[in-house]
Amino acid sequence: MKSLGSIRRSFEPWNDPDAKPYIRFDGVTKKFGDFVAVDDLTLHIYHREFFALLGGSGCGKSTLLRMLAGFESTSEGSITLDGENMAGIPPYRRPVNMMFQSYALFPHMSVEKNIAFGLKQDGMARSEIDDRVQSMLKLVKLEQFGKRKPHQLSGGQRQRVALARSIAKRPKVLLLDEPLGALDKKLREETQFELMDLQQDLGLTFVVVTHDQEEAMTMADRIAVMNYGRIIQIATPAEIYEAPNSRFVADFIGDVNIFDGTVVSADPTGTELDIGGGIALRSDNQTNVKAGGKASLVIRPEKIRVSREKPADTANAMSGEMWDIAYLGDMTVYHIKLESGQIVKASSLNAVRIVADPFTYDDRMWVSFDTDGGVILGEE
C-alpha cells in the first residue's frame, strides 16, 4: 500500500464522515480595533486528537487558542466544545485548561499548592486533592519536588509542573501555548515524545500552538498552517510536507525549490511545465492547471539527485555548476547554480563515511528528479 510519507495512521476521524467534531470553530472572526487577528475561520478538531496550530508570530494562532480558553471573546462566529456553545462562558467556567508559554507558575506557592490550586477551586475534598496531586507528581516524575517553590526548579522541571497543574483537573481539552519554547534543544526533543505518550495515556484532546514546525510535525496528528488570521492548509504532517497546497505552506515548512513556468500540457497522466531556456519539467502530479497557464513545480531538496554525468533514464535533468556546499554531518546540502541563474538546493544523506570522489566547488553538475518527486501548484 502506497502512502504519502513514511507513516501509516490508524487514527484519522477527520476522514470518517460519521465522526462528530469535538471542538468546532464556525466562522470565527476576532478583531482588535481595525486589526483582524482571526478572519472568518472554520476549524473542526476531533476527540483525542493532537492538533497543532502552526504559524509565524501574529498569524492569529494564539488568539484562536485564547478564544477557546475564554480569555478573548469572538467578534463573530461561534465556538462549540463537546456540543456546548462557549459564548459568554468565562475562562473559570470552561472545561479546558491551558499550559502557558511562560508556565505562569504561582511564585508564592509550592509545587503541590500550584497543582492543587485548580482542584481547590472546584471544592474537591482535601484527601482527594492530596491523592490527585501525588499521582500528578508521579506522572511528571517530580515526587521529591512537591514542597519546592517554582524558583527552586530548573526550566524542565517547571515545564512539567505547569503540565501537571493543567491536567490535574482532567480537562476535556488541554491547550498548550508554545509548550516547549523555553527549553533547550535536547530537552525539547525528549519532552516532545513525553507529551505524545502522555496524550495517548490520558486520552485527552490536545491543541498546541507553536511556531516550531519540527515540534508540530513530531507531535501532531494534524497541523493547521495559519497566516494572516486564516488557515492555509489543514492536513497530517506528511501531507503538509509532501503535498503542500500553496507556495506559502511549501515555503513555511522545510526547505523547497520552486520552478516557475508555463503549463505545456495538463492531463490525468501528469503535467508538463516549460521553465524557459528550453527546459521542460514533468510531474505526475495533476492539479487544476490548464495548458498555457502559469504554474510552479515545487520540490524538496532531498528529492533531488546530484551527479557529474547526466543520468540516463530520468524525466527531469538540468545542468549547472556547484556553487556552495554545506556539510552538516548527517547530510550535505549542495547549492547548484543552473544556467538560468536559479540556485537549486539538493541534499543527500551521508550514508557512508568514506567517499571516493567527492564534489567540490565549480564542478559541472547535473541535478535530476523523478516525476513523482514534486507537486504542481497553480497561480494563487
Partner 1 sequence: MNSNWSRFNIASVILGFAFLYLPIAILVIYSFNESRLVTVWAGFSTKWYGELFRNQGLMDAAWVTARVGLVSATFATILGTTAALALTRYTRFHGRILFSGMVYAPLVMPEVITGLSLLLLFVSIDFGRGFWTVTLAHITFSMCFVAVVVQSRLVSFDRSLEEAAQDLGASPVTTFFQITLPVILPAVISGWMLAFTLSLDDLVIASFTSGPGATTLPMKIYSQVRLGVTPEINAVCTLLIAAVTIGVIITSVLNKSREVRRRRDEQAAYAGR
Instruction: Note the maximum CA span of the chain.
Output: 78
The C-alpha cell that represents 313 in the structure block: 533514464
Tell whether the torsion through CA atoms of 217, 233, 172 and 72 is positive or negative. positive
- Min separation Cβ 84 and partner 1, Å: 16
Could you tell me if 244 and 250 are in contact, meaning their C-beta atoms sit under 8 angstroms apart? yes
Tell me which residue of 376, 261, 351, 273 sits closest to 315, measured CA to CA: 273
- Cβ proximity to partner 1: between 90 and 329 the closer is 90
- Cβ proximity to partner 1: between 69 and 299 the closer is 69
- Cβ proximity to partner 1: between 54 and 69 the closer is 69
The C-alpha cell that represents 67 in the structure block: 478564544
Task: Put the strands of the sheet holding 230-235 in their side by side order.
Answer: 96-99, 173-177, 205-210, 50-54, 222-227, 230-235
* Binding residues vs partner 1 (CB under 8 A): 69-71, 90-94, 96-98, 100-102, 104, 106-108, 117-118, 121-122, 149, 151-157, 165-166, 169
Q: SS3 of 216, please?
A: helix
Distance (Å) of CA 91 to CA 107, 147, 163: 21, 28, 18
The C-alpha cell that represents 254 in the structure block: 522545510
- Cβ proximity to partner 1: between 71 and 248 the closer is 71
- Min separation Cβ 69 and partner 1, Å: 6
Residue with cell 476576532: 30
Supply the DSSP string of 331-360, one letter for each residue. Answer: EEEEEEEETTS-EEEEEEE---SS-SS---
- Min separation Cβ 98 and partner 1, Å: 5
- Min separation Cβ 166 and partner 1, Å: 8
- Cβ proximity to partner 1: between 28 and 153 the closer is 153
Q: For residue 142, give the amino acid letter.
A: L
- Cβ proximity to partner 1: between 153 and 297 the closer is 153
- Min separation Cβ 86 and partner 1, Å: 14
- Cβ proximity to partner 1: between 68 and 266 the closer is 68
- Cβ proximity to partner 1: between 35 and 92 the closer is 92
- Min separation Cβ 67 and partner 1, Å: 13
Sequence length of the chain is 380
- Min separation Cβ 129 and partner 1, Å: 13
Query: What is the C-alpha to C-alpha distance for residues 214 and 110, in angstroms, rounded to an integer?
Result: 33
- Min separation Cβ 173 and partner 1, Å: 12
- Min separation Cβ 171 and partner 1, Å: 9
Residue with cell 495533476: 286
- Cβ proximity to partner 1: between 118 and 320 the closer is 118
Query: What is the C-alpha to C-alpha distance for residues 206 and 49, in angstroms, rounded to an integer?
Result: 6
Query: What is the C-alpha to C-alpha distance for residues 267 and 290, in angstroms, rounded to an integer?
Result: 9
